[in-house]
Amino acid sequence: MTNNVLTTASRILVEGPICDHCIGRMFAKLSTGLSNDQRGAAIKLALALEYDIKRSETSDDTQLKLLAPSSIYARKTLGMKDDDNKCWVCNGLFQHIDTWAKRVITALEGYEFDTFLIGTRPSGLLIENEEIVWATSGTRWAEPLKTEMNREVGKRVEARLKKKADLKNPHIVGLIDIAQEKVELDVRSLYIFGWYKKMIRGIPQTRWPCRECKGSGCEHCNFTGSMYPESVDELIRPEVIKMTGAKDTVFHGAGREDIDALMLGTGRPFIVEAVKPHKRRIDLTRLQHKINRYADGKIAVSGLTFACHSDVELIKQAKADKVYSLRVSFKEQISEEKLKSAIEILSQTPIIQQTPTRVAHRRADLKRIRNIHYIKFEQLSTDGISAVIELKCEGGLYVKELVSGDDGRTTPSLGASLGVEAKVTELDVIEIDGIFI
Ligand SMILES: [Zn+2]
Ligand SMILES: [Zn+2]
C-alpha cells in the first residue's frame, strides 16, 4: 500500500510542483485525523527519503525523476523545469485561503446568522487541471478541490466569527467565485408562522396584480398595478420588512377564504417568508403588536413562532376541517320544513364536486368528494327568502357551489334539494381545525 501511495504521488509530482493541500487531497479518503496539507507534507517527506535512498543506489536519472520529491533543491539537481514554484493543480489557490476567508467575512458583515456554509465555484482552468490530475493519479481516494477549499475557508470563518458551519440548514451561504475573484451571498429566508383573522370583507389574501396591465399600472387599476388596494399579505409585510431588514416577503396561507369572506375564530394559519433578511433574532411579540397596530382592525395576527422552509409545504398541504357561517338567499319563499329536509339530505351524503366554473380557468378540472361533518340552519327570515346556515366540512369543499349546485357540477346541492335557486350572499370562516406546527 505504501508503495502504491508513493508511486501514485510521484506520478503527479513529475508533472510539476504541487502544494501540500493538492497532493494530500489525492489521498484524502485514506486516513483520518489529518488535514490534507498535513497528509501532503507527510507524503512529500516520505518521497524525499525514498529519493535519497535511490540516489545512493543508482545514477539513473529516469528512475530518480519518477521518485521526484517536491523540494525545489531536488527538482533543480534533476534539471526539472519549474517556471515558478506555484502549484500546477490549484494554481496557487491554497496559498490564499486566508485572503478568501477575509473576503467571506467582509461579505457577511451586516447579516445576522448562526449557521453558514461555504461553496466554491472553480474557474474553467482549475476544472481542467483537476481532470488532468485525476487522470494522472488514477486515485480512488481523492477529494475535489472545492471540498478542500470549502472546508479550509469554513474552518477559518468558524474560528473568526464563532459561528457554526452547517451543511443541511445554513442561514447563509458564502459562494467563492474563483474566476470573478469575489464572494456571492445566498441569504436563506426567515420563516415566521402565525394565525390571521380577517375582520373586514373585500380584501384578498395575497397581492393581486391588475389583470389588464399585469402590475405596471393602467386606467383599469387606477394606476396602482393591483386589483385591490390592500391584502392580508400587504398588511403584514411592512412591519416584517422593517424588523428583519428583508428585501421582500412571500405569503404562504393554509388555504384561502374568498375575498368577500371574513376569517374569524382562531384564524387561519400562515407563514410569512422574509426574503434576504439582515436580522433573524427578532422579538415576535413586538412584531405581532406592530402588525396589528398597522393593520388597524382590518386583520389581526396571533401566535407568531419561528418556522422553517419545510413547514411551508406542511401548511399548504394541510386539509383542515373548517366551520363556515353563510347567509343564503332563495329565489322563492321556502318553508322551515322544506329547508330542514334539504339540509338533512346534504348531511347524509358525500358531496361530489367537479371543479367550479369560477375557478376552472386556473385549476385542473377534477371530480372530488368531500364530507360535511354537520350542517344546521341558525335562522330563516320571516319572509322565507334568506337563511343563515352553519356547517363544518372537510377542507377543499367549495361552499358557494354546495349551495348553488353550479349547474349540476356539485351534487347534491342545497338548491337542487330544495328545487329552488339558492346562492350564498355572505360567507365567513369561523374556525379552522388541525394541528399545524
Ligand atoms: Zn495546490
Ligand atoms: Zn392595471
Instruction: Note the pLDDT tens digit of each residue in 57-113.
Output: 877 777 776 666 555 555 666 666 655 678 889 999 999 999 999 999 999 999 999
Residue 229 has a pLDDT of 86
- The ligand whose atoms approach the alpha carbon of 208 most closely is 2
Does 322-432 match 190-317 at the fold level? Answer: yes
Say how many Å lie between the CA of residue 157 and the centre of ligand 1: 21
- The ligand whose atoms approach the alpha carbon of 88 most closely is 1
Q: Cα 127 vs. chain centroid, distance in angstroms? A: 29
| List of E strands, 102-188 | 115-121, 164-165, 172-177, 182-187
Residue 164 has a pLDDT of 92
Residue 1 has a pLDDT of 40
Residues of the chain with pLDDT under 50: 1-2
The closest alpha carbon to 209, from 220, 193, 197, 194, belongs to 220
Measured on CA atoms in the order 244, 246, 248, 250, is the torsion positive or negative?
Answer: negative
Q: For helices 145-161 and 97-108, give the axis angle rounded to 10 degrees.
A: 60
Say how many Å lie between the CA of residue 397 and the centre of ligand 2: 32
SS3 content of the chain, % helix, strand, coil (to 5): 35, 25, 40
H-run or E-run covering 248: strand 248-253
Say how many Å lie between the CA of residue 213 and the centre of ligand 2: 4
Say how many Å lie between the CA of residue 215 and the centre of ligand 2: 6
- The ligand whose atoms approach the alpha carbon of 40 most closely is 1
What is 190-317's CATH number? 3.30.70.2510
What is 322-432's CATH number? 3.30.70.3190
Say how many Å lie between the CA of residue 19 and the centre of ligand 2: 62
Q: Tell me the three state secondary structure of residue 334.
A: coil
105-109's contacts with Cβ under 8 Å and 24+ in sequence apart are 105/157, 105/160, 105/161, 106/183, 107/174, 107/183, 107/184, 107/185, 108/157, 108/161, 108/172, 108/174, 108/185
Check if the beta carbon of residue 353 is closer than 8 Å to that of residue 403.
Answer: no
Neighbour tally for 11: CB within 10 Å? 16
Structural domain boundaries of the chain?
Answer: 2-77, 93-187, 190-317, 322-432
Q: In angstroms, rounded to a whole number, what is the distance separating the alpha carbons of residues 224 and 353? A: 37
Residue 100 has a pLDDT of 97
Residue 134 has a pLDDT of 86
Say how many Å lie between the CA of residue 23 and the centre of ligand 1: 7
* Alpha-carbon torsion, ordered 26, 28, 30, 35, to 10 deg: 130
Neighbour tally for 279: CB within 10 Å? 15
H-run or E-run covering 196: strand 190-198
Say how many Å lie between the CA of residue 84 and the centre of ligand 1: 13
Say what the pTM is: 0.77
Check if the beta carbon of residue 385 is closer than 8 Å to that of residue 335.
Answer: no
- The ligand whose atoms approach the alpha carbon of 224 most closely is 2
Does 93-187 carry CATH code 3.40.50.2300? no
Helices (H), 217-264: 232-244
Catalytic residues: 258
| Residue 57 CB partners (closer than 8 Å, separation 6+) | none
